[in-house]
Structure 1
Amino acid sequence: MSIITLTTDMGLSDYYVASLKGRLLSLSPKVQIIDISHFVSPFKITQAAHLLKSCINDFPENTVHIIGVDAEPLINFNQPEESIYPTIIKHNGQYFLGADNGFFSLLLGNKKPEGMWRLEDVLSRPELMNFPTKNILVPAACKIVDGVPFETFCSPVESIRKAFPLSPVIDGDTLKGAVSYIDHYGNIITNITKKDFLRVGKNIPFVIYFRQKEYYIDTISLGYNEVPAGEKLALFNDSGYLEIAINKGTPENGGGANSLFGLRLGDIIRIEFTPRGSRTTIDSLF
């Protein structure tokens, strides 16, 4: 059975997602639809990219992913290079459909796609623009799962638009990153990977600081239950990113890490490494 996933910023209080699924099932009745998330913050392609990057390795080859986040095309005849077309890329043996608004570069990172194609129906049928995720991306996704030759509905392209996310910065014995995502539990996911961490401070004592100096963690846990309920911890999650969490965070014990520490998207997370491993030594840096 073919799989099509949906990642959107449409929420579930309106008819939009139901309309998408209805169109999908009308065009490909046997397709299996999987919701990745419909609660991406409106137009936040960085969040959408984070969600997809975190789970695509769990999907089989030839899965088709529809990204309905900031999906409206923009056709600029005076400056064609500024146009934003509906686009398909192949990556990790899977297909991703969305607007070429920088999302794909966030998804790929430094990797090269296995293929790139542009959907140009918007030029001949402008009426499709009022709900492009349903009217443009859904039919294209169904053509892919039905095995329709690509050359009959899209054209190959050589490049995609670039977006430049915040990346971790190494400054001597300090690694600085940022909050890139906050999950349903209020857990703070950063853009610092385990690879980044080990490259700077393998086997070196450290302290992770966030928000204010009094908030710090100096241990990496393997799981949430390594600390008592309501206590803070840091771990590398299933996707390999540094996460700051409260074990079983609930309103009764202070809430999740985002509310307890007042952390928001983009806030700086700082890791100080010191060969001496002294909390006093690290404090002297401030």
Structure 2
Amino acid sequence: MVDSVYIDRVMLNLDGGSRMKRKVSVSVAVLLVWTGIAAGCNPSFSQKRVELHILAASSLTEAVKELETVYEASQPEIDIVVSYASSGKLKQQIEQGAPADVFLSAGEKEVKELERKGLVNPAERADLLRNELVLIIPEEGRQPVKKFENLADSPVDKLALGLPETVPAGRYAMEALRGTDQWNDLRSRVVYGGNVRQVLSHVAAGNADAGLVYRTDLSASRSVKVADVVPPDTYPPIRYPAAVIEGSDHPKQARSFYRWLKGKKAQSIFKKHGFKGAAASE
């Protein structure tokens, strides 16, 4: 209203150049004052969004992307920043001081090692999800193997696994092969991937005849299919722990996100992507 009054006056006084300049200047000054008052009253003008750094195992990619969207919609002051890699690589990043507030691991070993080093508080760490191993082969072409127990005797020339030192899926796969007395016969045929999605890519591209991945990874590629489910008694239970990192720059927000991950909404999203709840009955 004030601006329109000044504009009308300016238009009626076209012969008074200096008066016009003064009135425009006053109008701009009033606008700036009002903007400053609004910024002081509205936190969205002045409050910077909190960047929450989440380190997530590669096998969680699709689920965490959806979780990120849902959480930011309900918490507009939070900006979720996610780094994906193998759980072992993410553990190393945390140890080296990379920005990290919450760690979502595909293996318990990595989180336990961080606990021993004081980088995770056991009171802020919980098993979040479960998964299972499957034997995959290319969608097209010959089927080199039908049963996991027959892998060693099959015509599979290259078997893709995650690197056991840093990829929990590779560790579980090696345990399963040892548990069925096939590791010694197959180890010379193994092609390693730096994370479980690289294993999937090896098989999808035809660079490996078969591979061992999590069941949930199948949604990331239409170029592979399940040949067999790996017997669960041949490897340790696959649990995904979540943990708040000690020394987080935003401990309050990290704890809130950690608690939300254990709630119904987040769990329903995980289940939508094929994961099972942490409890054996889920």
TM-score range, shorter chain: under 0.3
Q: TM-score, normalised by structure 1?
A: 0.27
Tell me which structure has the larger Cα radius of gyration. 2
- Larger helix proportion, structure 1 or 2? 2
Kindly indicate whether structure 1 or structure 2 has the higher relative contact order, using CA contacts under 8 Å at least 6 residues apart: 2
- Larger strand proportion, structure 1 or 2? 1
